[in-house]
Structure 1
């Protein structure tokens, strides 16, 4: 997304909020960045503006709805993408439903044979319905935005559309969303946003184990998240995992050297390394690391002019990848329960040391940033190619300069190392996180869309 389109989005949000506050008798004009199309044009590049508009609103919801921490946000983004995909897949004669491919997804409604559909309207209704269900505690102002975007997109897409086609398309999109949401409620993560810090979890005790970290000293975040159902089953049973270097306080040991590397790196950051750490921080009150990756996805969909079905496929793939990467990562986090660098460094190296960014409230191994980025980066490379160059403009509104990458692996590497520069992860956290994320991404790319 260009700087101009970022500004346009905020202008668009303001417009929608004004429309939502107006009386029902008033007829609002169609915003310029929503293009009215006919019922046959669901695969034109402009049609992708409908899902992109919903993802842009969802990034705002992630920022502003309590409890949408990175794994919870990743889950919402995944089910949003799946609902979108299933609402439009039948517009492509070569498309494949994810029913029967995703774990325990055995039924998704299909369109009526011989009937005509407006696929943009179907997509819009599916997205409106699934997002409303996934964010039940959204603020009244954001609920108004959801309702207004639903109406505005539907109005734009309905130009020249017969009323029966429009109604059938709306009903189909809603039926798909209802089925996907019902399936989502059985995955173990439905109420994750309500109870991120369960009081019944008691972390193990010992010198190598995680303890709450300053400044907030919060309880462990989502300790049971790793038990959630994966969307894509591994082809083979998962192994016991990849162990980190053995904990040791011996200055000659590998673990001490890893911690000392973090200590020394934070103390000697270059201006560029400092920028990288802050650029990828994506902490509380932001669109989170999974949101950042899906925002890049939305930007590329817009820049590359993808059709509605292509956009739906990519949104589904990217969302599924970050969801499953989060589950695998959290499984390892609470399998190993490894202490954070700040705990080790202050106890065994320098009691006055502090990281550049605040340490999040969960164990160190493996890195969530690296896992999410490894998964999404693999999906994006599979879609656009290993040598696709791009510029991430997503943090421009926050005062950062755009960051250019020659390929997606460079993006993954930078996101992964940013956590070492920030002082909150060991290098092996990021290396193994990126590797397991890549494995997840490859599984996602193995499905038929």
Structure 2
């Protein structure tokens, strides 16, 4: 064989080997191909989303929870196409009905799909963020886009971008009909008139009007998370010293007046005030991200965790806000100042909306049940959400289980002086029910 033929022969072998390698890489005979990738791209995006939630104007807890819901659903809808044993949420969530025609699945790279969806949905839901943070969004997208362009053949990269855009477009369009669109621009609607029958009143220090009074009428992801979980009414508002209402207020008064340093630490750790932090929903996202990293969860697992968690905490705020604005129950600071001690002040600033039920309780209960469904009832973990903060004691806190965590988050509102017993414990039950409803979503083929 001539030298020229030898060279051509060797080249042919190299080409065939390269083609064989590519064919093996994109061959779906390996089941659940999306699960073969790490969750790195998802973890990095959610770290940025936490920062955006903290720094973007108007991202109050309900607004943040809604954004987490739709972003998580879009992420899952894209990546789940590459999970042969998983099914779409279309037809399972309230009002979500769509279909997508896909190419051969080996034409997609699932981390690239995830990155493009997270980029598009984050840009959409955080459209009013600062120029600096908008640049951070673009930088993160460019980092992963450049990485994938180098790794992939152009056809696979482009197909992944097209699929991601189609999924994100469908979820964004659906989101615009739920009643909460652009909520960050209208947290305090001026057309809301507080009923004369309300015992709730605007509270110190700002005495602002009620935050998101219509939020409870938004479309939930699961109807049962609103219709089937509403708690009994709170104790009748009464100034009678023998009433349950007075008894509950006295309990808050005594707890705050005899507060321990550990209880103050707990109250501040779970306060999660907007602007200072990524809000209580952001605390939930932080815990999920920590556990995904701790367990080395793959891309498929991470996307399902964030989808179900997003659904649960978004519905938690719709459900809780429905309860709040139907009961319009008085806050401890108002009741105690008017009936027990005019100079009393709580440990935490009272947020500008009615008392019953506790948003912290409802969303923490929902978080707990979703995490249990993925990691188990007796999963012990350390919450590092506030590690490094200097304005409070952000020392990581250890929990024996997710219920242990939820109960501490809930009771922190008693220590803070802003909720009564019923709002805390019935709120937890409301949240547990929501979390179970979401966990029971059957996503298996």
TM-score, normalised to structure 2's length?
A: 0.89
1:357-405 deviation digits (Å, cap 9, x = unpaired):
1000000001000011011111001111000010000100214110000
- Matches of 1:216 and 1:236 in 2, distance apart? 30
Partner residue, 2:423: 429
Residue 241 of structure 2, aligned match among 239, 251, 257: 251
RMSD across aligned positions (CA): 1.6
User: 2:265 corresponds to which residue?
Assistant: 275
Does 2:98 correspond to 1:107?
yes
Q: Is 1:404 aligned with 2:394?
A: no
8 Å Cα contact 1:212-1:220 kept in structure 2: yes
SS of residue in 2 equivalent to 1:43: helix
Match of 1:160 in 2: 151
**Is the CA contact 1:108–1:180 (under 8 Å) kept in the aligned structure 2?**
no
* Aligned match of 1:203: 194
Question: 2:324 matched to 1:330?
Answer: no
Structure 2 partner of 1:89: 80
2:336 is the counterpart of 1:345: yes
Give, in whole Å, the separation in 2 of the partners of 1:223 and 1:448. Answer: 33
Judging changes above 3 Å, is the alpha-carbon distance between structure 1 residues 108 and 217 closer, same or farther for their aligned structure 2 residues?
farther
Q: Are positions 1:43 and 2:35 aligned together?
A: yes
1:156 and 1:295 map into 2 onto residues whose CA distance is 26
C-alpha distance in 2 between matches for 1:239 and 1:55: 29
Partner of 2:177: 186
Partner of 1:315: 306
Q: Alignment partner for residue 287 of structure 2, among 286, 296, 299?
A: 296
Task: Name the stretch that deviates more: 226-235 or 271-280.
Answer: 226-235
8 Å contact kept, 1:293–1:373: yes
User: Partners in 2 of 1:114 and 1:303 — Cα distance?
Assistant: 30
Provide the rounded CA distance (Å) in 1 between the counterparts of 2:162 and 2:369. 35
Task: Please say if residues 229 and 433 of structure 2, whose CA atoms lie closer than 8 Å, have aligned partners that are also in contact.
Answer: no
Question: What is the CA deviation profile of residues 402-440 of structure 1, one whole-angstrom value per residue up to 9, with x for unaligned ones?
Answer: 000000000100000000100011111111111111111
Distance 1:199 1:396, change over 3 A: same
In the alignment, does 2:143 pair up with 1:148? no
TM-score (ref. length: structure 1)? 0.89
Q: Give the drift of 1:160.
A: 2.9
Aligned to 2:224: 234
Whether the 8 Å contact between 1:108 and 1:176 is mirrored in structure 2 is no
Question: In the alignment, is the contact (CA less than 8 A) between 1:338 and 1:364 conserved in 2?
Answer: yes
Q: CA deviation at 1:341?
A: 0.3
1:121 aligns with 2:112: yes
Task: Give me the whole-angstrom Cα distance separating, in 1, the residues matched to 2:229 and 2:387.
Answer: 41
Aligned residue pairs total: 410
Question: Where does structure 2 lack aligned partners over 5 or more consecutive residues?
Answer: 1-24, 28-32
Q: 1:240 and 1:295 mapped to 2: Cα distance?
A: 27
Give the whole-Å Cα distance in 1 for the aligned partners of 2:338 and 2:227: 39
Is the alpha carbon distance of 1:417 and 1:170 closer, same or farther for their aligned partners in structure 2, counting shifts above 3 Å? Answer: same
* Structure 1 alignment gaps of length 5 or more: 1-37
Contact 1:108 1:179 in 2 (8 A): no
- Report the equivalent of 1:444: 438
SS of equivalent residue, structure 1 residue 397: coil
Residue 218 of structure 1 is matched in structure 2 by 208
Does structure 2 retain, via aligned residues, the 8 Å contact 1:325–1:371?
A: yes
Q: Deviations over 1:254-307 (max 9, x none)?
A: 111100000000111111111000000001211000010111001100110011
CA gap 1:251/1:119 in 2 versus in 1, 3 angstroms:
same
Contact 1:333–1:365 (Cα < 8 Å) also in 2: yes
Structure 1 counterpart SS, 2:398 = strand
2:3 is matched with which residue?
none
* Cα 1:72/1:249, change in 2 over 3 Å: same
